[in-house]
A and B are shown apart, each in its own frame.
Chain A
Amino acid sequence: DIQMTQSPSSLSASVGDRVTITCRASQSISTYLNWYQQKPGKAPNLLIYAGSSLQSGVSPRFSGSGSGTDFTLTISSLQPEDSATYYCQQTYSTPPWTFGQGTKVEIK
């Protein structure tokens, strides 16, 4: 199975900061990488698919980049409502489609 490793596991930043979360795959996954946001007590919500495509209705302050094994989710200007846990997921080739362990983002 392909392993996904996110860093950092948690971070604290101020409103307006630029925030970057990294996701690394154990083997090349092309751009088959998705990002989800999960708020406490809620189901995950798709932010980015195929590495860099913004899901409809998602704020453009979220962006994704990368290919192969290294990917990045960037929040250009952190807002209070962005406090959540973020997960990457690979969907390369056949299942299982594994998730990273998550990155918890807190507002200072």
Chain B
Amino acid sequence: QVQLVQSGAEVKKPGASVKVSCKASGYSFTNYDIHWVRQATGQGLEWMGWMNPNSANTGYAQKFQGRVTMAITRNTSIGTAYMELSSLTSEDTAMYYCARGYSSTWYGNYFDSWGQGTLVTVSS
């Protein structure tokens, strides 16, 4: 079955960087995009960006441009996606999710499988 397993919780100081991983299994890794979405406690969902594991193309929300980097490593059908966020502030304290993105001309794009989330806490 499709699984996205994320790395564990992180505590970082302001100004530091954090790197979250998302290990995918159960499907052909290069056939689906990987998206990153974050959610501050008690708040809504915020789309951060995406990466195509086949082409390595990326796209980031303007809010995170210059601060976020998305990358992947892959071995045949198994792959791991990474999201690194730099220059952290307390406003970056949130749960970070990776999600598998399905894309088609007819149905558009949607996120049909999600990781369990990684809590990133930024505190001095």
- The residues of B that contact A46 with a CB separation of less than 8 Å are 110-112
Stretch at the interface among B7-15, B44-52, B75-83, B85-93: B44-52
Q: Give the shortest distance, in Å, between B35 (CB) and chain A (any CB).
A: 8
Band of interface residues on A: 20 to 34
- The residues of A that contact B53 with a CB separation of less than 8 Å are none
A-B contact count (CB 8 A): 69
Assuming the A-B contacts A32-B109, A49-B110, are A102 and B97 also in contact, with contact meaning beta carbons closer than 8 angstroms in the complex?
A: no
Stretch at the interface among B24-32, B66-74, B113-121: B113-121
Band of interface residues on B: 20 to 34
- The residues of A that contact B47 with a CB separation of less than 8 Å are 89, 95-99
- Whether A91 and B44, one on each chain, are in contact in the complex, defined by CB atoms closer than 8 angstroms, is no
Assuming the A-B contacts A43-B97, A43-B114, A96-B61, are A32 and B44 also in contact, with contact meaning beta carbons closer than 8 angstroms in the complex?
A: no
Report A's interface with B, CB cutoff 8 A: 1, 30-32, 34, 36, 38, 43-46, 49-50, 53, 55, 87, 89, 91-92, 94-102
Known: A31-B108, A46-B111. 12 other contacts (CB 8 A): A43-B117, A44-B111, A44-B114, A49-B102, A50-B107, A97-B35, A98-B47, A99-B44, A99-B45, A99-B46, A102-B44, A102-B45
